[in-house]
Amino acid sequence: MGTHYDTLGVSESASEQEIKKAFKKLAMQHHPDKGGDSGKFQQINEAYDSIKTPEKRQQYDQMRKFGPGPQFQRGQPFGFDIFEQFEDMFGGPGARWQQRRPRKNRDMSITVPVTLEEAFHGIKKQISVQLGSGRRQIVDLDIPAGVNNGMTLNYKGLGDDQLKGLAPGDLQVRLQINRHPHFERKGNDLYTAKQINAFEAMMGTKIMVKTLSGKTVRASVMPGTQPGTFIRLPNEGMPIVKAKNKGHLFIRIDISIPSNLTQEQKDIIAKYFK
């Protein structure tokens, strides 16, 4: 398996600036929002995160050379801090053993695209995630109805597993809701548009509107309706997460003006407005 240096396309003696420059170039090239592969993008991020600072780079190089076990470092001739061991055993200053948290691998963050229909109904889907060890892991996502753009779901123990002997990190899944061709979302409300002609606007009419849920509802356009008027359909918007009610659906009325009237029609209109 290649190293993080190989992933970024730099030598092991590359400077911090060269590593940063290589990361920016690859991140732009493989970003999912620009059609790139999300797995490759995640791999590039993980590689850069592991060697972006001198401290992290030293830790990574030592792990490659000696493995993830204890290292014989300066100031620790026995591979551990002997004073820390005494504090652990006898409750030294600060009783450090009481405060220490169990170590684990780092958490991972990925972005998953979701359609507006999937966000409306909720969905269960499988994704493949490449971990820091190079292993691919299948994750079952359970996305509830009504999720918002940018909402993050946390899956414990499904994150990075690169350091053997430590518990896996968590997997944080950020949801990116795609734009819809017919509906716009604002909070829990949905907005759409319906076109009628000028005569329907003057006289009033009935319109049929297909909602995001798939059903068709009938709405009334009042006589004298002006362009840009909104009709509100209660409880036809997005579901509210962990609630039984929904937002509203707002229909903007657009009015088309006919340009090919017959002379007879023009005479009728002229007579009406005299």
Q: Which residues contact 65 (CB under 8 A, 6 or more apart)?
A: none
CA–CA gap between residue 207 and residue 122 (Å, rounded): 29
Q: What is the pLDDT of residue 206?
A: 96
pLDDT in tens, the chain (274 residues): 588 888 989 888 889 999 999 999 998 888 877 777 878 888 888 889 889 998 888 888 877 776 654 444 444 444 444 445 444 444 555 545 445 555 789 999 999 999 999 999 999 999 999 888 888 989 999 999 999 999 999 999 999 988 888 899 999 999 999 999 999 999 999 999 999 998 899 899 999 999 999 999 999 999 999 999 999 999 999 999 888 899 999 999 999 987 787 888 778 778 777 6
- Identify the DSSP state of 181: S
Q: What is the pLDDT of residue 71?
A: 43
In order of 69, 220, 261, the CA distances from 104 in angstroms are 13, 60, 75
CA–CA gap between residue 104 and residue 153 (Å, rounded): 19
**What pTM value is reported for the model?**
0.58
**E runs forming strands in the chain:** 108-114, 123-130, 136-143, 152-155, 171-177, 184-186, 189-197, 205-210, 216-221, 230-233, 249-256
Handedness of CA 246, 249, 125, 141 (dihedral sign): negative
